[in-house]
Structure 1
Amino acid sequence: MVTGNQAQIDYWNGEVGQRWADNHSALDTAFTPFTQALFAAAGLAPGERVLDIGCGAGETSLLAARQVGREGRVTAADVSGPLLEAARAREAAEPTGGASIEWLQADVQSHPFEERFDRALSRFGVMFFDDSAAAFANIRASLVEGGRLHFLCWRAMAENAWVALPRAAVMPLVPESEPPAPDAPGPFRFALRETVQAILAEAGFRDIAITPVDHPMTMGPTPEAAAEYAVRRSPVARLLQGCNQTVQDAALRTLADLFVRLSGNGPVELGAACWLVSARA
C-alpha cells in the first residue's frame, strides 16, 4: 500500500501506532464528551451503511454498529495495522449485537470503495491526509446522493490547552525544529473554519455546518498519568519522537510537576476545542 500518505502510513504502523493500540482505553476516556457530541449530531438510524474514517482502535465503529443494528453495516477504515488489530480484539471480546463490521486497512484518500454509504463519520481522523482535497472528493464519491458526512477536527492549538500547555513545557528539552506548514497533515490541519468550508465545497458537499464544541479534556486521574498521556499519546509525542530516554524522562517529570501545580494531586483537566462538521453529499 504505497500512496501519497506514505509518511503517515509508516508513522501509524510503527511504534506510535502500537503504543496507541496498547493504550486505547485512555484515549477513548479522554475523548468521551467529543464522541458523544459526534454521535448526537450524526443521529445514525437502523439499517444505515456507515463508513468510519480513521477508526483507530474501533470505539466509534462499535458504537455505530450498535446504533445501525443488524440490518446496517459498518466499514471501519484506518491505515494502522496495530490499531485495527486492537479493534478486532475489542469486537471479539465485546460483541455489539448490531451491524457487521468490516475492518479495512486502507488509505481513505485513495481507496476505491465499491460499496456506497449512507453516512461517513470520523472522530479526529480526517486531518492527516497528504491531499485533503483528493481525500474529501473520494469520501464524497463513496456516499449515496444525499448521504451525510459528520466529523470532528481540532481548532487552533492556542485554543487547546491540553496540547499547548504541555508543548510549551517540553519545548526547552527538545531540539529546535521548523513549525509544520499550515496545510501539512497534522492534528491542527483544519484549525480554520474557512479551510474546512473551502475543501468540503470543492469536493462537492453542500449544506455544510461547522459548529464549535468545547469541553475539558481529562488527561488522567493523577498528574503522573496525565504526564504519561501527554508524552506518549498526545501531539506532544511527536516533539519527543527520536529523543533519548533521558529527555523522555525529563519531559515526564516536567509535565507531572506542571500538572501538580495546575490540579493538585487529583484528576487533570485542560481545555479542548474542536469543530463539529456536518455536510451532505
Structure 2
Amino acid sequence: MADGEITQAEYWNGEAGERWARNQRVLDAVFAPLTEALFAGADLRPGDAVLDVGCGAGDTSITAARRVGAEGRVVAADVSGPLLAVARKRSVAAGTAPIAWIEADAQVEDFGEAVVARAISRFGVMFFDDSVAAFANLRRALAPGGRLTFLCWRPLEANAWIAVPRAIVLPLVPVPEPSPPDGPGPFRFADPEIARSVLAAAGFREVAVEPVDRPLALGRPEDAAGVVLELGPVSRLVREQADSVRDAARAAVAAEFAQRAGDGAVSLGAACWLVSALR
C-alpha cells in the first residue's frame, strides 16, 4: 500500500461503508441474479457450517443460513462496522441456522482449524493485500474436502453496468490513475489464470472457473444512475469531485440510460467468474 492510501478497513468503516449500509436493500435487489448464481454453485447442504467472507450487510449470510437450516451454522465476517450494524438488525426466519456476525479481516482472522464445510463470498475476496496468504488462511478454516466458492468480476469492458456509465463520466473528470494490474481492487481476478495460480499457491486443489453472465435490473433511469454512480466502481471517479461535476455526471448518465430503458427500466449486463476450489 502506497503512502497516504487508506486501508480497506478504513475505507469500509468510513463514508463508503455508511453509503453502502444506507443502500442495502437496493444492492440486494440489484445483485439478486448474481447471488442466485453464487448459491447455485456453492453446494450448501443441510447441517453445513459456512463461512461468509466479506458478508457486507448480510444478504448472502442470511441466504446461507436458510439453505443449511437449523442444524447448520454461519460465520459472517466483514471489516465494515456500518455494514455489520445493518446485518445484525435484519430479521432471520425461524428454522434457519444461527449466524455469528464478526467484525474481522478475513486475511488474518483466526477462524479455527477445519471448522467449516463451506466458505463463500460475493465480491469479498478481491481486495486482499496478500491474496495467497489470505486464501491460505481461509483454507485453514475449511475441513478436509471443504469447498470455497466465490464470485469475482470479469474485465471492466465485459461489464456493461460499469463500462457504459464510466465512458460517459470520464470526459467530465480528471484522468484517473491506472490501478496496478496485480493489486487489490474489484478486477483483481479479471484474468482467471491469476485466480487459479493464487489458489494453487494457497494450497487449494481442483480449482474451477466458470463464466457467469446476468442482466442487472438497475431501476428507472434516474435511480439507475444513482446506483452506478454511488455504489459501483464508477463512484470512485466522482466521489471527490465538486457538486457541479457530480450533478453533471448524474444527469448525463441518466440521459443515456433513458435512451436504453425498456418499459421504463434500465437493465445492463454483468460479467463474473464463479470460482470454486477444494481444500
Q: Give the TM-score category using the shorter length.
A: over 0.9
Amino acid at match of 2:83: L
Q: Which runs of 5+ in 2 are unaligned?
A: none
- State the Cα deviation string for residues 204-235 of structure 1 (Å, max 9, x = none): 11111100010111122x10000010111011
Matches of 2:156 and 2:272 in 1, distance apart? 10
- State the Cα deviation string for residues 177-224 of structure 1 (Å, max 9, x = none): 21100112111110011001000111111111100010111122x100
User: Which position in structure 2 is the counterpart of 1:152?
Assistant: 151
1:66 touches 1:96 (CA, 8 Å); kept in 2? no
> Does 1:16 pair with 2:16?
yes
User: Which position in structure 2 is the counterpart of 1:241?
Assistant: 239
| TM-score after normalising by structure 2 | 0.95
Amino acid at match of 1:255: V
2:112 touches 2:140 (CA, 8 Å); kept in 1? no
- State the Cα deviation string for residues 217-268 of structure 1 (Å, max 9, x = none): 1122x10000010111011111112112111111110110110122267111
% same residue? 57
Deviates more, 1:109-118 or 1:261-270: 261-270
Deviation of the 1:43 alpha carbon? 2.1
Q: Secondary structure at the match of 1:77?
A: strand
Deviation of the 1:160 alpha carbon? 0.3
- State the Cα deviation string for residues 37-78 of structure 1 (Å, max 9, x = none): 111111211111100000011011001111111111100000
Amino acid at match of 1:156: P
Deviation of the 1:114 alpha carbon? 2.3
Deviation of the 1:97 alpha carbon? 2.9
2:62 touches 2:92 (CA, 8 Å); kept in 1? no
Matches of 1:172 and 1:280 in 2, distance apart? 45
Amino acid at match of 2:67: Q
Q: 1:264 to 1:99 in 2, by over 3 A?
A: closer
Matches of 2:71 and 2:170 in 1, distance apart? 50
Matches of 2:278 and 2:6 in 1, distance apart? 29
Matches of 1:176 and 1:50 in 2, distance apart? 42
What is the alpha-carbon root mean square deviation over aligned residues? 1.4
Q: 1:38 to 1:264 in 2, by over 3 A?
A: closer
Matches of 1:176 and 1:43 in 2, distance apart? 43
1:117 touches 1:147 (CA, 8 Å); kept in 2? yes
Matches of 1:68 and 1:127 in 2, distance apart? 26
User: Which position in structure 2 is the counterpart of 1:262?
Assistant: 260
Count of matched residue pairs: 274
Matches of 2:130 and 2:239 in 1, distance apart? 24
Matches of 1:7 and 1:22 in 2, distance apart? 21
Matches of 1:189 and 1:217 in 2, distance apart? 21
Matches of 1:39 and 1:140 in 2, distance apart? 19
Amino acid at match of 2:116: F
User: Which position in structure 1 is the counterpart of 2:59?
Assistant: 59
Deviation of the 1:169 alpha carbon? 0.6
| TM-score after normalising by structure 1 | 0.94
Deviation of the 1:96 alpha carbon? 4.9
2:150 touches 2:275 (CA, 8 Å); kept in 1? yes
